[in-house]
Every structure is written in C-alpha cells, then in structure tokens.
A and B are shown apart, each in its own frame.
Chain A
C-alpha cells in the first residue's frame, strides 16, 4: 500500500504495463521530450526510448488513426490526447473507425487501443478548453469509456484498459491529478462496466463519476457531519457500458437520487442516469431525480461568469436539500435534531 497522487498512479501504471508487455507503446503530443503537458509520462522517453514513447505532430486525427491501425496489427498503443477538447479533431477516427472495425468486419480485427485524455476546466481556460464531452464517446457502441475518480481506480482501470482488446476512452480530469489516495501494491485490473457504491447510506443516492464522484464523496461526508444525513454515493466508474443495475439497486433502497456531472445538462450523462432510474425504479422514487450540471453556455473567461456557470458544492447541497424536501425527509431529520 502506498499513498500517491492520481498523476503518479497513472505514470506508474503506464510504466509497469510497458515493462510487462513489449506491445505497449505511447503516442501523443509533447509526451516525450516535454514529458507530457500534465507530466503523466515524465521520464518514460528516457527509460523506453523514442520507439516506444513517440512524440507526434499536432495531428490528432492522424496519430489517433495510426494508433488504431497499429492496434489492428496487434500492438497495444496508448494515445494521450492533451485535453478531451482536442479529441474532437480525432472524432472520425474514434467514432467511425476505432468503434466500428471489430463489428463492421465481422469480428476479424480488434482494436486494443487506449485513449487517455483529461476533461475539466474552471481555471479560466475559456470556451474551447473547458468542455466535458465524454458523452460523445459514451454514446457509441463499440467503445468503452471509463472515468476513475481515485488513484487506485485510475491504476486498476488503466491496467484493464490496456489489457482489453477493445478501444477504451480513459477519462482523466485536470482537477484530479494532484488528489491523493491509497493504492495497494498488488492491485488487480478492475472490471470495466461496473459502478461501485463507495459510501452506503439510506437517505438519498448521490451519483457521480471522475471529478464529480470525488465531489459526491466530499459532500456526503460533509452532510453526515453537519446534518446527520446518511447519503449513499455511487461512482459510475464506467460510462459505457453503464452499470444500470447498481444505480437502480441503490435508488430502490434510498428512494431519491441526485446526479452530478461536469457536462451540460441537456442530453448529458445525467439524463441517461435519470432515464435509467425512471425505467428501473419508477415505483420506488419519492422525488424527481435531480441533475446538477454546467450552465448551458460556452464557458466564459471572466471569473465571476465562469464560477456562476460551473456546478459548485453549494449547488450540490441545494439540490440534495430540495430533493429531500420533496420526499419530506429532511424536515423529519431536522425535527429529530
């Protein structure tokens, strides 16, 4: 067991997988000489050389597509796309090719490819550098999309993604890179496609992934201490496949749900989660499912506007209170105090 940052967990896992499997190679902009825009790949060029750590030109479509072709011939490329915003340049290769090649050719070629890319914003990066468009990929059968929130899950899911024979979009988050957590030394790969109840509770289910799962855990702890609320937290971990059964089982127990997401509300991941709850736990719900998401604007640069557009902890707490009010439970809780 070691306590390490999310960044360190990613770095060490990449290194371990490269040591374990000669077929693993890294491609991306500035990952070698520059050691990665967020230093995930620091030291790897020096250790493994330019054959296995390839700095690419600024050509997301070209190098992502090249990684797909290399994967078809049996390599296990791990592509770093500097931020998820830039993955849009490679959308054709990811959606029309990586996701399609296995099925479209009748299962004759698989694409064991990992695309690592961080979402996140809120640092005055402006409209084009602050998006969370993972749902574009979560929409597409043939892709797998994972979104770990802790260093341990980052390690376990990155191992799984690299050893998987399908294309996996591995969602990171700028705000998580410096977060710390325990990472067991002999951690096995985590199964893709499963959510986890990271905190058990009876009053309400709080659902998140990546950064928002982190926020959910913090808010649940805070409200347990200050209000005596018993909130259950579900970390989705995998956006495709989506573990609907775990979501529904939790809501059947708590009868209320709030979904946190960093993307826009309309058509977002939260909409899919809410629809899942409607399908699977309609009779168990005591209040409408609430979603906490970004304001529906291109994210502005000016700090007050940016802050107003992004979901805050207070927004989450307000949504929880409103949901419990609708249930009638918060009133009872307060009455007990």
Chain B
C-alpha cells in the first residue's frame, strides 16, 4: 500500500482533556484489543488441539472490524466469510459462545455444527460466516432483496477477501444489487494476499474498489489500519445503502499471520514481516492514545488484563461446555419434517436383515 492510498488520519486532539472523540478511541482500542487477545487465545487452543478443522484469524484486521461494525445499527445484517471470529465478538456475541463454537460444543453460536468458518447468530443479525470463497456474496445480496421487498430500512453489510473479487459470484451479485438498487454494502478486506497469492498476481485491476465502476456503483478505498478512517468511510457507504444505492468499500488491511493457523507464511520476506509489525494497528492505536495523553501505560495494562480475563474465561467456558450428543446427528437436516429421511448411522443396514432360514422353519 502506498502512502497516497491511505486516507488522512483523524486530527490528533490536544492531550489532557478526555473528549468525546478520546472516549471513542478508547472504546475502539478496548474492542480491538479484545479481538486481538481472543484470536491469540484461539491460536493457542488450536495448537493445543482443542480446536479442529481450518482456523483463520483476524489478527491485523482489528481496526477494520471495529470501524466497519461501528457504522452498523443493531438491526442491520452482517454476512462475512470464513475469517470471522472477530466480527462475531465485536458484533456483541458473547465471546464464551464464540469460543464454544470453535471447540465444537453445544453452547457454541451454531451449536457446534459450524465451527470456525460458520458462526451465526440471529439475535445479533450475524447471518453467517461462509466457508466457500464468494459464497456469501449472492446470499447477502438476496438478504438485501428481502429488505427492499418489504420496504425495510435495514441494510446488509457483506465482507469478503480480496481474492473473492475475481470469482463470478462477486460480479453477478454487484450487477444484481446495482440493477435492483439494493441496500447493501460490499466490503473488500484487502489484506493483499489470497492465501499466498498477491492481489497484483491475481487481479488485473489491483485497485479493487475500481471494480464498482463496471456496475456504476459508488466505491471507495480506505486505510484499514485506522479505525477512525474506517468508520468515516463505512458511514458513507451505509448511508448510501440505506438510500437504496449499493456501495463497494475496499478496506486495505493486514494479515499479521499466515492464511490459517497452520500456515507459516514462508512466502513473505523478513523485511515484509518487519513492516507488518511496524504497522500493527493495535499497538499503533495504543501509542497514539498514550502520546495524546488519553491513557497511561498503567491504564493500557489494565485494559489488557481485562481482555485477557475475558478470553481466558471464554476458553474455560468452552472447555466445560458439553459436546453435542450423537443422538442429535439428524436434528438439522430439514426444517420441515419429511417422510423417509434416512437416519441411518454408517454401519447400519437400510432394512432389517431377513430372518435366517432355520429361524423361519422352527
């Protein structure tokens, strides 16, 4: 990311008086820190084999998440991809239940059926993390269609990675949303890597927000390391969607670790890694708050201890939560009960075996 593409940072207020803007920044920092500690605790649980499957972390994405979700109202809908623990936690879902989902337990947000990639919570209107790249984009578009159909004032926010912008579903969806004036904000989290492939190597137009032009859709790019800039950009996008005009927002972000927990990211150079650390949005905001005299080092440490307590409690809660009983295996195949559904466990026959001849003779 070149400096020219970064949005102007919010002006630093004079140190001393805790203004409303300062309080807001402190709140952002608390939320970003919780995501950070939650994901670090998740990585630890994964390496301890308490979490299975794939596990993609939001490390580096904290400012983007907090900025985006600040612009939403509680009644708005959120669709994400498979890198979504931080979205779930920041949307207000109990971290205990998010961690329990990662552990595959009954108290998990998806009752242990979804795992890391498939968090869902109706009450908080998080309508899913989706594991297939691009899969959520048409579905989220349809949610916006339902809102428009009913004349509602909610909007849909649909996040995706930079790699998603090359899949057909992205283009089909943006075209539909623009044609039908749907209340949706498409958010590209551009962390500059789709697994190990750079945006430049995969996208003929690497300034991804420009793809909105193909659909005459308003679009912008924002610095995803600055929560204040992200909120400002997201508020414009959300207002557009609420007025019935979809919006494409590119949030230039970072991925501090590999694609997933098990990826050592050997395709990155040492210089690149050092640069990533230098731009880490969480310590950057901490330094900003200290420099502005808003928070002391002691206050920062206390906030950190509080975040660590929450995530440790989440891990303990998840550990103590019951695993689903195998008798519930067939509970969620169909919403409307239907005749002749197979409820056969793998070794069982379709029909009871015929009686043995000697038994029928007696």
Contact = CB atoms under 8 A, between A and B. Distances in A.
Interface string A271-285: 000001001101100
Contacts of A111: 335
Nearest to A164: B336
Given A61-B169, A105-B114, 14 more contacts: A62-B176, A69-B139, A70-B143, A75-B146, A97-B132, A101-B139, A102-B333, A103-B332, A103-B333, A105-B120, A105-B128, A165-B336, A166-B336, A280-B350
A67 B138 CA distance: 8
B91 to A, nearest CB: 14
26 contacts: A56-B176, A57-B176, A61-B138, A61-B168, A63-B176, A65-B169, A66-B142, A66-B145, A67-B142, A68-B138, A68-B139, A69-B143, A70-B145, A92-B135, A97-B130, A102-B334, A105-B110, A105-B113, A106-B332, A109-B120, A109-B128, A164-B336, A166-B336, A166-B338, A241-B342, A279-B350
A69 B146 contact: yes
A276 to B, nearest CB: 7
B111 interface: yes
Contacts of A63: 138, 172, 176
Interface string B160-200: 00000000110011011001100000000000000000000
Contacts of B140: 69
B254 to A, nearest CB: 29
Interface of B: 77, 108-114, 118, 120-122, 127-128, 130, 132, 135, 137-147, 149, 168-169, 172-173, 175-176, 179-180, 331-336, 338-342, 349-351, 354
B176 A66 contact: yes
B175 A59 contact: yes
Contact of A107 (B175, B335, B338, B350): B335
Contacts of B114: 104-106
A205 B169 CA distance: 45
A318 interface: no
Interface stretch (A121-129, A186-194, A220-228): A186-194
A193 B341 contact: yes
Contacts, number: 182
B141 A65 contact: yes
A285 B204 CA distance: 62
B333 A72 contact: no
Interface of A: 25, 51, 54, 56-57, 59, 61-75, 77, 92-93, 96-97, 101-112, 141-142, 144, 164-166, 191-194, 238, 241-245, 248, 276, 279-280, 282-283
A66 B173 contact: yes
Contacts of B169: 61-62, 65, 92-93
A64 B121 contact: no
A66 B136 CA distance: 10
A193 B338 CA distance: 6
Contacts of A108: 110, 120-122
B149 A57 contact: no
Contact of B111 (A65, A107, A144, A165): A107
Nearest to B140: A69
Nearest to B158: A69
A65 B138 contact: yes
B139 A96 contact: no
B340 A242 contact: yes
Contact of A72 (B142, B168, B349): B142
Contact of A109 (B122, B145, B333, B349): B122
A69 B141 contact: yes
Contacts of A66: 138-139, 141-142, 145, 173, 176
Given A65-B137, A108-B121, A241 B341 contact: yes
Contact of A106 (B120, B145, B168, B341): B120
Contacts of B350: 244, 276, 279-280
Contact of A110 (B130, B145, B335): B335
Nearest to A192: B338
Contacts of B110: 104-106, 108
Contact of B354 (A59, A93, A243, A282): A282
A144 B338 contact: yes
